[in-house]
């Protein structure tokens, strides 16, 4: 036994060293990851003066963006969809949209709406191309009791489920209220696509990252309107700063009884609707 003792002691010492090394490595890893947390948290601070922001004189602490949709005004012309695709270089097919318009039709004698959107094969066949969008006149022979359009886009939620589930912090909520995606940091796991209850996110296979509407952040930070708002011929889309009490969006919310989509999710969306209906999803 005596002969084995030194060896045993050496092994014990080795294991102790192994344990200590593991502790140090763990501590180092912990500190490293804390550093990472700080880095991600730093995204939520003011960027003015840092020089890293595309628009130098923009201060995101001074804005609180919000979006309004007056569904009673929408005529389903889909200019917004096409403008968005061009402005944001969205894949030109019928499966990837940052904004889209839904059509709800109640036929006589039916108590549930028939719903479609421009991605529907019938509508794509009517337009003749996956790059151009229109609503086919598919109900021309039916007796329509009620019909309306509902534009959809990212709700830039106050408690975004997509941001909650992002494992890297590549998608984050800015101070001015928009949810952005860092496409140089996104790993493309698509957990956020699953988590969004509104179907607002999609995976861009060419870029290998997730994409969605960000209210044309590159425009609004320069004082411009989002492309879809700009092209809407009937003023169904309203955009502005809630910090400005006289902005179009402040007036829209103050002067109307507004709804949000799926409030039960707890996401607290920031697209405010007028003219929704019981069947709107």
Partner 1 sequence: MEPLFHAATYTGYVYPNETVIPWTVLIVVYPYLTGLVAGAFTVSSLYHVFGMQRFKPVAQFALLASLCLMIFVPLPLLLHLGHPERAFNAVITPHWTSAFAVFGYAAGFYIILLLLENWFVFRPHIVQQAQQRKGLPGWFYRVLSLGSYDLSGKAMRYDHKWIFALAVTGIPAAHGLHGYVGFVFGSVKSREWWSSDLMPAIFLFSAIISGVALLIALYVLSCKLRKTPVDRECVKGLGYTLWGFLMFTLVLEGVEFGALVYRGREGIETILEYVTGPLIVPFFILQFAIGAVIPIAVLSYMFWEGTTGKALVAGVTLSACLVLFSVFMMRWNVVIGGQEISKTGKGLVDYQMVIFHREGLVAAASVIIAPLVLLLAMVRLFPPWADNAVPSSAPDARGEVLPRVVTETK
Binding site for partner 1 (CB under 8 A): 1, 4, 7-8, 10-12, 14-15, 32-33, 36-37, 39-40, 93-97, 100, 102, 115-119, 152, 161, 163-170, 185-191, 193-210, 265-266, 281
Least distance to partner 1, CB of residue 185, Å: 6
Q: What is the DSSP letter of 263?
A: G
Pair of tokens at residue 193: 């696509």
Question: Judging by beta carbons within 10 Å of its beta carbon (0-12, 13-18, 19+), is residue 265 exposed, middle or buried?
Answer: middle
Which residue's CB is nearer to partner 1, number 57 or number 130?
Answer: 130
Residue 28 main-chain phi, psi, to 5 deg:
-60, -45
Q: Which is nearer to partner 1, 165 or 242 (CB)?
A: 165
Q: Exposed, middle or buried by CB within 10 Å (0-12, 13-18, 19+), for 169?
A: middle
Nearer to partner 1, 61 or 164 (CB): 164
| Shortest distance, position 242 Cβ to partner 1, whole Å | 25
Place of tokens 């003015």: 48
Nearer Cβ to partner 1, position 118 or 237? Answer: 118
* Nearest distance from C-beta of residue 223 to partner 1, angstroms: 30
Measured from the CB atom, the residue of 149 and 252 that comes closer to partner 1 is: 149
Residues 6+ apart with CB under 8 A from 146: 104, 105, 106
- Both tokens of 90, joined, read 């969205």
Minimum Å gap between C-beta 244 and partner 1 is: 31
Q: What's the min distance (Å) between Cβ of 276 and partner 1? A: 14
């Amino acid at each position: 036994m005596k002969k084995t003792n030194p060896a045993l002691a050496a092994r014990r010492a080795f294991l102790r060293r192994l344990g200590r090394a593991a502790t140090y490595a763990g501590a180092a890893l912990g500190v490293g990851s804390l550093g990472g947390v700080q880095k991600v948290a730093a995204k939520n601070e003011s960027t003015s003066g840092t020089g890293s922001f595309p628009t130098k004189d923009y201060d995101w602490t001074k804005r609180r963006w919000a979006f309004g949709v007056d569904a009673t005004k929408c005529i389903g012309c889909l200019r917004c969809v096409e403008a968005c695709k061009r402005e944001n270089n969205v894949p030109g097919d019928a499966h990837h949209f940052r904004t889209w318009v839904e059509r709800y039709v109640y036929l006589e004698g039916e108590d549930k709406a028939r719903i479609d959107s421009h991605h529907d094969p019938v509508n794509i066949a009517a337009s003749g191309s996956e790059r151009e969008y229109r609503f086919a006149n598919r109900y021309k022979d039916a007796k329509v009791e009620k019909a309306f359009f509902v534009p959809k886009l990212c709700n830039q939620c106050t408690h975004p489920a997509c941001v909650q589930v992002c494992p890297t912090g590549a998608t984050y909520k800015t101070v001015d209220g928009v949810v952005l995606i860092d496409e140089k940091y996104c790993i493309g796991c698509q957990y956020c696509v699953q988590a969004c209850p509104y179907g607002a996110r999609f995976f861009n296979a060419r870029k290998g990252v997730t994409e969605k509407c960000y209210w044309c952040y590159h425009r609004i930070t320069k004082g411009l309107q989002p492309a879809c708002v700009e092209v809407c011929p009937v003023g169904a889309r309203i955009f502005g700063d809630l910090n400005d009490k006289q902005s179009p969006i402040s007036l829209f919310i103050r002067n109307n009884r507004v709804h949000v989509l799926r409030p039960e999710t707890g996401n607290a969306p920031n697209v405010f609707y007028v003219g929704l209906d019981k069947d709107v999803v």
